[in-house]
Amino acid sequence: MTLNIPGLVSLTVFFTLTLATGIWASWKSRKDQQNRNPTEMAMVGGRNINVFIGLFTATATWVGGAYINSTAEIVYLPSKGLLWVQAPVGFALSLVIGGLFFVNPMRSKNYVTVMDPLQETYGNMMGTLLFIPPLLGEVFWFAAILASLGATMRVILDIGGSLAITISACTVILYTLLGGLYSVAYTDVIQMVFITLSLWICIPFALGNSATESIYHTATHQSYQDPWIGKIEKEYLGRWLDDFFYLVLGSIPWQTFFQRVLSAASTGQARLISYLSGLGCFAMAIPSVLIGAVAASTDWNQTSYGLPSPFERGESVMILPLVLQHLCPAYISITGLGAIAAAAMSSADSALLSTGSMFAHNIYRKILRKKASETEVLWAMRTSMLVFGAGAAGLAFHSSSVYDLWFLSGELVYALLFPQLCCALFAPSTNTYGSAAGFLVGLLLRLLAGEPALGIPPVILYPACSLVNGTYSQLFPFKTFTVLLTLGTILAVSHLAKALFQRNLLPRSWDVCNIVGGAAIPIPLQQVEKQERLPATALEENHN
């Protein structure tokens, strides 16, 4: 295979357009930030993002390279099929639930990040500990996106994956550093247009290829492989439900979601953005489903790909770019490549911005440098984004392990962060002791369940656990079970600790977290930040 010059030119144009949009958006943000907090402009767009831009950026956050590629792959796999494609419905429900229950309490206190209510309720030390799972999740997510993009470039353009990873990472880091949320939001508009138009342009050519049978027939009838509609075996129902709840509830406690709804101009607009982006996520999965169905209905021996099939060669993960390359004309497949690149970058910049925002706002400002100026916090955010972005790009070269680490860290966010966030927002009587106990229980239960992809054997063998080819497979919904136990532990230990100290069953001198008598009265997060910026004389006057 030779270098695909037209494809390379097409990608160059796309990357240039994206970078130019990001630079323009950064100029616009500087123009708009007069008389506004510069760090709030970078992190939540000055809370002035309109519904149109908000809808595009919220949808683009979830519709990434992994989303469109994995949807097509799951439909194509003979052992899975359409019934195992849970992300479109799962993400849609997640965004609706987030809009219904989480937007109002987060916006009512003018929070900036998802870590704010956790630090306010459980303290800075516990907040720092809870920062670790989402940090790892965002970095591994960024790395996995870059690795996916590099593999796609290698297949279609025949260029080194490392070169594609480096160029993509540099482009994303540059425009995100320059404009913060403004650059990310406005480039998301360009990227969503590319994704939508590019994939839908490819669909008629893929469906009409002579090597492809009718997908309506192959949905329920055996052809070149099992029907692509798929089926859910009775013994796998527990795992299916576990994965579904993980997608629905585990997608809520991420800064990428709250950054969008906190940046809206009003609570009503934030909810509307959340609801509409849920519909957008579902709709954006349709082209990938059709491409997966086409791949399952194709006689690959009649294409330039030949035999054995992608599944037999172990290349199912690349099924979307393979369909574009071998079932569509060259000039059409180039547009499809633009969709994949756009999808990858739309999620990568969101991951980068969220890690930088949480580190600068929750770690640097609240713990490391409590008296830092706004300019200093802004530079801390930019520096952390550069460090995290470079680290993720380095990890992307080891793609075989990055995906597995991303899945594990995402499950840790579900098991650890979701119960903590729910308690902080809806059960304010919980305290640091309960939070710490819940964190420990959730972490142990998840790790002791094992992770076959990383070679971690299970210590806890849940019901229906089976041994297949020397590897244990947990069929019990253990992830959701862990979430429920973590939630129960936080509530129970919080009330137990409070009762023990209030009834003097434990000496109050042991109450290092000050949850009962003699403790300082909690001060709202915004008042703490305001007081930290007041001169000492002003603080004395307020005290008097």
448: which 2 tokens? 């002791």
Cβ atoms within 10 Å of 227's Cβ, excluding its own: 19
The one-character DSSP state at 456 is B
**Per-residue confidence (pLDDT) for residue 11, from 0 to 100:** 81
Residue 255 to residue 252: CA distance in whole angstroms: 9
**Per-residue confidence (pLDDT) for residue 544, from 0 to 100:** 42
Which segments of 33-123 does DSSP mark as H helices, in order? 38-44, 51-62, 65-76, 87-97, 103-108, 116-122
Q: Which domains does the chain have, with CATH numbers?
A: 38-406 (1.20.1730.10), 427-510 (no CATH)
Which secondary-structure segment (H or E) carries 473?
strand 471-473
CB-based burial, 298-314: b 16+ in 10 Å, e otherwise: bebeebebeeebbbeee
Reported as a single tens digit per residue, the pLDDT across 188-241 is: 998 898 889 889 999 999 999 999 999 999 999 999 999 999 999 999 999 999
Residues whose CB is less than 8 angstroms from the CB of residue 233 and which lie 6 or more positions away in sequence, other chains included: none
The one-character DSSP state at 467 is E
Report whether 90 contacts 251 (CB < 8 A).
yes
Residue 244 to residue 190: CA distance in whole angstroms: 30
**Per-residue confidence (pLDDT) for residue 523, from 0 to 100:** 45
Residues whose CB is less than 8 angstroms from the CB of residue 77 and which lie 6 or more positions away in sequence, other chains included: 84, 311, 316
97: which 2 tokens? 């639930």
Residue 359 to residue 113: CA distance in whole angstroms: 10
User: Can the peptide bond before residue 321 be classed as cis, meaning omega within 30 degrees of 0?
Assistant: no
The one-character DSSP state at 522 is P
Residues whose CB is less than 8 angstroms from the CB of residue 317 and which lie 6 or more positions away in sequence, other chains included: 69, 73, 151
SS3 210: coil
**Per-residue confidence (pLDDT) for residue 1, from 0 to 100:** 56
Residue 183 to residue 442: CA distance in whole angstroms: 37
**Per-residue confidence (pLDDT) for residue 521, from 0 to 100:** 40
The one-character DSSP state at 48 is -
Q: List per-residue pLDDT tens for the chain, 544 residues long.
A: 567 787 788 888 888 888 899 999 888 877 776 667 889 889 999 898 999 999 999 999 888 878 898 999 999 999 999 999 999 999 999 999 999 999 999 999 999 999 999 999 999 999 999 999 999 999 988 888 888 788 777 777 777 778 888 888 898 999 999 889 989 999 999 889 888 988 999 999 999 999 999 999 999 999 999 999 999 999 999 999 999 999 999 999 999 999 999 999 999 999 999 999 999 999 999 999 999 999 999 999 999 999 999 999 999 988 998 999 899 998 888 888 777 888 888 788 999 999 999 999 999 999 999 999 999 999 999 999 999 999 999 988 876 666 777 888 899 999 999 999 999 999 989 999 999 999 999 999 999 999 887 888 999 999 989 888 888 999 999 999 999 999 999 999 999 999 999 999 999 899 999 998 554 344 455 554 554 444 444 444 444 4
**Per-residue confidence (pLDDT) for residue 520, from 0 to 100:** 38
303: which 2 tokens? 């294409």
